[in-house]
């Protein structure tokens, strides 16, 4: 990556936006120029990058001129409003929202899983949902050896998935409870401190919430097959940062825990964390700030001869959002894929 690129971060002042800044610096992404874009409300602030204060500009048509890559982390409505504008100006947009994930013309990429799909972009590439990213990084290496027939996922999702304000709210609720005061919920629908509740995204007619269906539909798209049977239950838990997932996998033939452990121990983006003597397995507190998805407690499913159980934890803001986006940008640069295969036409 000897060439330098002109980048813009849309949603620069949010939790994912600030993480993008940190990772761009620590990974030394080749940047010739950096624009920080946000709403009018956040414009005028400045953020530190490589020892300099960079002003935050209000997003506008002109803000995307002379930009090669846009890392968007400002929410679906903002992405729908500005992604096509940025592409028309000549930029490639890597979008962290759900706006384009299921669009058949937009690649949905986890670099450890389906990097070749990036070659088919038309100016926009979608970053999957955080829970989907973490799960697919761990399941894909096993799926390549023996195709998975069924996935049953149970997630334990941290406050960070609802943004920086939700994280602050959990801290305030914890302090209130410890002082004998009632917890107040404004960002999340219910108090999360010392509590948990099913994910509050909208429910469909089958009783599955939007978050659960993201795991179903996105995983099938990323894996390139509609044949995997997938079900999920998503729960918000009183953890500040890093999601956890219990994954049950069913294969056509038996898959030994020993073989799975050996495969995952050498898989990109995965760190095996298992100490059976001390009952030490992945924990969100240890996954926080880490690039890898921590995987462990791999064992046979005693209820099914072809079943396998595993437990994982991953930093929702990092690999679940910002890091995956930057890895996509690195992939585009490394493989010389910044030019779209054809022009994106917004619907």
Q: Helix or strand or coil: residue 155?
A: strand
User: Using CA atoms, how far apart are residues 116 and 335, in angstroms rounded to an integer?
Assistant: 10
Which regions of the chain does DSSP assign to beta strands (E)? 5-10, 31-38, 46-49, 52-58, 69-72, 92-95, 124-126, 148-157, 197-198, 229-236, 243-251, 270-272, 293-300, 307-314
Say which residues have a Cβ less than 8 Å from residue 21's Cβ, sequence separation at least 6. 9, 12, 36, 47, 48, 49
- The two tokens of residue 240 are 């500040």
Closest CA to 151 of 164, 165, 140: 140
Query: In the 8-state DSSP scheme, what is residue 230?
Result: E
User: Using CA atoms, how far apart are residues 67 and 206, in angstroms rounded to an integer?
Assistant: 43
User: Using CA atoms, how far apart are residues 51 and 246, in angstroms rounded to an integer?
Assistant: 41
Q: Helix or strand or coil: residue 327?
A: helix
Please list the residues that pair with 309 across neighbouring strands: 248, 299
Q: Which of 121, 143, 199, 243 is the catalytic position?
A: 243
Q: Which of 130, 143, 199, 313 is the catalytic position?
A: 130
Query: In the 8-state DSSP scheme, what is residue 115?
Result: G
User: Using CA atoms, how far apart are residues 214 and 218, in angstroms rounded to an integer?
Assistant: 6
Does 243 participate in catalysis according to the annotation? yes
Q: Helix or strand or coil: residue 203?
A: strand
Dihedral angle, C-alpha 179, 184, 190, 192, nearest 10 °: -40
Active site residues: 130, 243
């Amino acid at each position: 990556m000897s060439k330098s690129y002109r980048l813009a971060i849309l949603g620069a002042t949010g939790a994912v936006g600030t993480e993008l800044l940190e990772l761009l610096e620590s990974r030394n992404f080749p940047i010739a120029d950096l624009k920080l874009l946000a709403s009018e409300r956040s414009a005028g602030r400045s953020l530190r990058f490589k020892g300099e204060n960079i002003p935050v500009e209000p997003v506008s048509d002109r803000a995307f001129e002379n930009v090669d890559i846009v890392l968007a982390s400002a929410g679906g409505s903002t992405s729908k409003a500005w992604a096509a504008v940025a592409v028309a100006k000549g930029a490639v947009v890597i979008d962290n929202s759900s706006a384009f994930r299921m669009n058949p013309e937009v690649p949905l990429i986890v670099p450890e899983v389906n990097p070749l799909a990036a070659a088919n972009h038309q100016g926009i590439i979608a970053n999957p949902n955080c829970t989907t990213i973490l799960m697919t990084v761990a399941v894909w290496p096993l799926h390549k050896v023996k195709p998975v027939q069924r996935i049953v996922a149970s997630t334990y999702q941290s406050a960070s998935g609802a943004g920086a304000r939700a994280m602050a709210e959990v801290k305030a609720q914890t302090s209130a409870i410890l002082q004998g005061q009632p917890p107040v919920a404004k960002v999340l629908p219910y108090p999360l401190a010392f509590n948990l509740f099913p994910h509050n995204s909208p429910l469909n007619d089958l009783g599955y919430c939007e978050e659960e269906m993201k795991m179903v539909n996105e995983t099938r798209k990323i894996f390139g097959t509609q044949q995997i049977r997938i079900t999920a239950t998503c729960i918000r838990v009183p953890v500040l940062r890093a999601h956890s997932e219990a994954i049950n996998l069913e294969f056509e033939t038996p898959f030994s825990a020993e073989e799975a452990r050996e495969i995952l121990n050498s898989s990109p983006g995965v760190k095996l964390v298992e100490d059976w003597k001390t009952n030490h397995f992945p924990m969100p507190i240890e996954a926080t700030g880490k690039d890898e998805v921590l995987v462990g407690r791999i064992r046979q499913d005693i209820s099914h001869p072809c079943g396998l159980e595993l437990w994982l934890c991953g930093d929702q803001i990092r690999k679940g959002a910002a890091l995956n986006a930057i890895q996509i940008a690195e992939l585009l640069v490394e493989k010389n894929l910044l030019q779209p295969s054809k022009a994106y036409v917004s619907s």
